[in-house]
Structures are given as C-alpha cells and as structure tokens.
Amino acid sequence: MKKLVQSITALLSLLAALLVYRSVEWDWPAYLAIAPVEIDSAGDLQQVARHLAGAVQIRTVSTQQRAGGSNQDFRAFQRYLRETYPTLHRQVHLEKINEQGLLYHWRGSRPDLDPILLLGHYDTVPVIAGTESQWTYPPFSGAIAEGFVWGRGTLDDKGMIIAQMEVVEQLLREGHQPARSIYLAYGHDEEVGGRQGALKISQYLQRQGLRFSLVLDEGSIIAAAGVIAGLDRPVALLGHAEKGYLSVKVTAHATGGHSSMPPAHTAAGQVAAAVTQLENRQRPAKLEHSDDFFTGILPFLPTGQRLVLSNSWLFKPLLVSYLQKQPALNASLRTTTAVTMLSASPKENVLPIEASAVVNYRILPGESVATTLDHARRAVDGTGTTVKALGSGTEPSPVAPIDGFGYRLLQRAARESWHDDTLLVTPRLVLVTTDTRHYHPLSDEVFRFMPNALNLDEVATIHGSNERLSLKNLELMLRFYRRLIINADRQTVAG
C-alpha cells in the first residue's frame, strides 16, 4: 500500500513538473524582433481629417430596399475622390465596374510579382430614424472635435479608404514606383451583400487571370490594451479565416381547428420540441481556431491561463467548458446555433395549421453548408418537423496560412507602424461575413484587418450611434498602409 502511494505521488509530481515545463518552455514569437519605424512624411494629419470629414458628409447610404442608395450621392463621392487626390487619379488607372464599383490599378515595375489587393467599401449603413439625437455631433457632419472625426462611415469604412488614397497620393508625389502592382477595390453595396460591387469586381479580376499575393479587407481590428482578458497590451487581430452562414426553417404542419379540442402536440409544440433538440444537440467544439488565436499572445498571458492553454492535451474538457460559457469565445469553438424567429397560429384560440422557426447558423471553417443542414435534419429527429435551407448560405472561408507572405507582410506593417514595441500580433477567426467571401478564387492569402486600435465602446459605435474615428487611429492607418506598400516590394518578407 505504501509503495502504491509512493508511486502515485511520484507520478503526480512528474506530471506537475511536465505541465510547468510545457507552460514555460515556449519560443518567444519571432515577430517581437520587428521594431517601430520612424515615419516623418505621414502627411498633415489635420488635413487628412478634413478630407475624411468631407467624405462622411456625402451620404452614400445603402438600404435593403435600395442597394446602393441614390446614384447621385455615389457619383458625388467618386468626384470627391478625384478632386481630393489629383495625382493619384492622373497616374493610377481607374476602371469602374458595374458603374459604381471602383478598381484602381497602380502598375508595378515587376509584372512577374503577384500583386496585392486592398479592399474597402464606400457605402454605409443608414442612421436609424429617431436616433439622431443620441449623436453628440450630427451623423453626417464629419465634425472634427475632441480628438475624433465623427460620423457614419468613419470606422466602417471610409476612414480606411481615405487613409489608403492619402498614402498612395503621398507616395506618388514623392516619386515612389512600386515593383509589385497594387490594386485598390472599393465596392458600393457591401452593407447589403456586395453582389453588385465586390462580386462583380472579383469576377472582372478573375477574367483577367490574376492571382494576388495578398487580399486585405476590413473585418478585424487591433484590440486596445485591456480588451482581451488577462492582457494589458494591444493586440493586432489578423483575421485569417471567417465563418460561413446558413439559415434554416423548421416547419410542422397540422390540420388546425378550434383550440378547445387540441391534440397532445400542436404544430407549435412540435416546432418547440425541435428547437429544444437543436439547442441541446450543438455542433461539437473544436479547439484548433482558438489554438491559432493563442499562438501570438501565449507568453504574455497570466501563469494560470498559460498553464492550462499550453497543456490543452490534458485540459481540453476543462478548457472547452470554460471557453464555451462565454458567447464570444464559444463562437470561435463551434458552428453556432441561434434560434431567431418563431411563428404559429395568428389567433389565441385557433390551432396552428403551420408552425415554424428560423435558425441561424455560423459555420466553422472545416465544416460546410451541407454538413450543417444534415446535422439540423438529424437533430430534429422524432419531432415530426421538416428542415429546409433558406437560400444557399455561404460556405466558411478557407484558412489563410500564418507563415506565408501575406501574414508576414501584415504583421511587419502592424509592428512597424505602432508607436512603441508593445503591440502583439495574432491570427483570429472572424465571426461575421465580409466582402472577402467574393475574393477567395483570387488568392490563398485573404485577410481581414483594419489597423484601428478600438476599445469595446468604440466597437459598439459601428452600425450604432456616435460612430467616430480617433485622429490617433487615422494616423496609425496612414503609417500602416505606407509600411505595407513599401514592404510589399520585398519578394519575401522576413519576420
């Protein structure tokens, strides 16, 4: 007996030693060696802010009813870019796709190098009627005050377009000639699906047989220090993959009649049972995307978290049960199931002849629209309901490599443009869908990242009230795109 206790104790201390060893024995991420770069010609920030203010004042609003808003506003925006960036519009080729999609091609001197493609959209969501008074400055004023440019579209994402145009204009004036071609593509209907803008631009580029070494769109940001629990540093979250999308309708039919003589289960009851089963039979959790997420930040997490994360082979059940309690983390673990709409009888004393529920899935990369639909059908088994897909859904994106040209280029530009060396960089699964879904045929290295350091309050203003871009972030974008364009000319980007 004593021997057994001894050997168990010995085993436990060996295990403890192994766990600690694995949590301290990491390689410091190599990107930490990339230092900030002095940039003295970032341009006149106040003037750039005024340029953005002018762009915000043009109401390029997309609504569901009218994709692309009024043509007049969109034409005014195009004219505004032409007048504000004259050198660019003289020297860079502009092709209008489907009249309002803007495709700029800054020709490189080395046609043998695959070009890079920067995406954006110049439409915005509307301001919900009745919420105007919640804005500190009117939503289309472009007011420059309190260190911000205020207005709809500043963050999403006219600020990004203005920063890119500004940098190209400036580099052209300095006589810069890129080796690698640079394309800028700005759609006019991203907020209502991008089928007239991004999709048409992508098809146009595909017809030319082009392949890109990097495609970059919005969709992820820099989490300001403190936003990620346990981390007091800012983290550039490079969106290397994005979830897919599918809604299904679950339906039950019955004969109906008066509610004074009901069957044991009405159509509504059947749908309720199906909904309960769907919620109870979630898609399984997979750790690979959260593992990716921790690659760039692991050494900086508190010891307890690091111990668990670096020993996920042992702690997987514990880790999953911890992560899945928080909706934002759970969403990176699995295909999520959200029951969103219910309908049944139109009257309280009438039995429904049809009842239905709509369930919205966000599909994890590696799974598909077909596997999700199949799962839903099996999950409602025995309830007497049927499951039908609403529309064709969107497949999850491929996962871009995090050791390739594109990731390294973004990582380097982010580190070089941040004001000190505290910025961490890590890959991240994007939970919403972006215009990039139209661009996958053009590149294996499609990323979503806008170099804005935002806290949660600022994130909430996107599509909400008081949307605003800080001058600090505007300056950061100018620095970032400048470093990106200059570094893109290295054939391989180290670090």
Q: Is 189 a binder of Zn ion (CB under 5 A)? A: no
**Rounded least distance, CB 399 to Zn ion, Å:** 22
Dist CA 489 CA 495 (whole Å): 15
> Between residues 191 and 416, which has the closer beta carbon with respect to Zn ion?
191
**Rounded least distance, CB 152 to Zn ion, Å:** 11
Closest C-alpha among 491, 405, 404, 406 to residue 110: 491
How far CA 486 is from CA of 74, 108, 180, 489, in Å, comes to 31, 12, 10, 6
Residues shown for the chain: 495
> Between residues 157 and 458, which has the closer beta carbon with respect to Zn ion?
157
> Between residues 34 and 118, which has the closer beta carbon with respect to Zn ion?
118
> Between residues 67 and 113, which has the closer beta carbon with respect to Zn ion?
67
Active site residue 190: yes
**Rounded least distance, CB 158 to Zn ion, Å:** 10
Dist CA 433 CA 199 (whole Å): 14
Dist CA 186 CA 94 (whole Å): 11
Residue number, nearest CB to Zn ion? 156
Span from 34-42, 152-160, 194-202, 418-426 in contact with Zn ion (CB under 5 A): 152-160
Q: Which residues pair with 215 in a beta bridge?
A: 117, 446
Active site residue 123: yes
Span from 57-65, 148-156, 401-409, 478-486 in contact with Zn ion (CB under 5 A): 148-156
**Rounded least distance, CB 217 to Zn ion, Å:** 9
**Residue 181: both structure tokens together:** 């071609």
299-358 residues in contact with Zn ion (CB under 5 A) are none
> Between residues 241 and 309, which has the closer beta carbon with respect to Zn ion?
241
Span from 61-69, 149-157, 202-210, 468-476 in contact with Zn ion (CB under 5 A): 149-157
421-480 residues in contact with Zn ion (CB under 5 A) are none
> Under DSSP, is residue 483 helix (H, G, I), strand (E, B) or coil?
helix
Of 123, 445, 458, 467, the active-site residue reads: 123
Q: Which residues pair with 359 in a beta bridge?
A: 248, 339
**Rounded least distance, CB 487 to Zn ion, Å:** 25
Binding mask 101-140 for Zn ion (x = CB under 5 A): ----------------------------------------
Of 114, 169, 190, 395, the active-site residue reads: 190
Dist CA 434 CA 242 (whole Å): 8
Beta pairing class for 468-470 and 148-150:
antiparallel
> Between residues 153 and 244, which has the closer beta carbon with respect to Zn ion?
153
**Rounded least distance, CB 463 to Zn ion, Å:** 9
How far CA 368 is from CA of 90, 250, 280, 312, 372, in Å, comes to 45, 19, 20, 26, 6
Span from 70-78, 153-161, 415-423, 441-449 in contact with Zn ion (CB under 5 A): 153-161
* Residues in binding contact with Zn ion, number by CB under 5 A: 2
> Between residues 157 and 395, which has the closer beta carbon with respect to Zn ion?
157
At 214, the amino acid letter reads L
Dist CA 430 CA 291 (whole Å): 14
Q: Is 156 a binder of Zn ion (CB under 5 A)? A: yes
Q: Which helix (H) or strand (E) holds 346?
A: none
Span from 68-76, 123-131, 154-162, 279-287 in contact with Zn ion (CB under 5 A): 154-162
**Residue 124: both structure tokens together:** 């915005």
Closest C-alpha among 284, 358, 356, 352 to residue 324: 284
> Under DSSP, is residue 223 helix (H, G, I), strand (E, B) or coil?
strand
Binding mask 157-186 for Zn ion (x = CB under 5 A): x-----------------------------
> Under DSSP, is residue 64 helix (H, G, I), strand (E, B) or coil?
coil
C-beta atoms surrounding 288 within 10 Å:
14
**Rounded least distance, CB 235 to Zn ion, Å:** 21
Dist CA 377 CA 380 (whole Å): 6
Q: Which residues bind Zn ion (CB under 5 A)?
A: 156-157
Question: Which of the residues are catalytic?
Answer: 123, 190
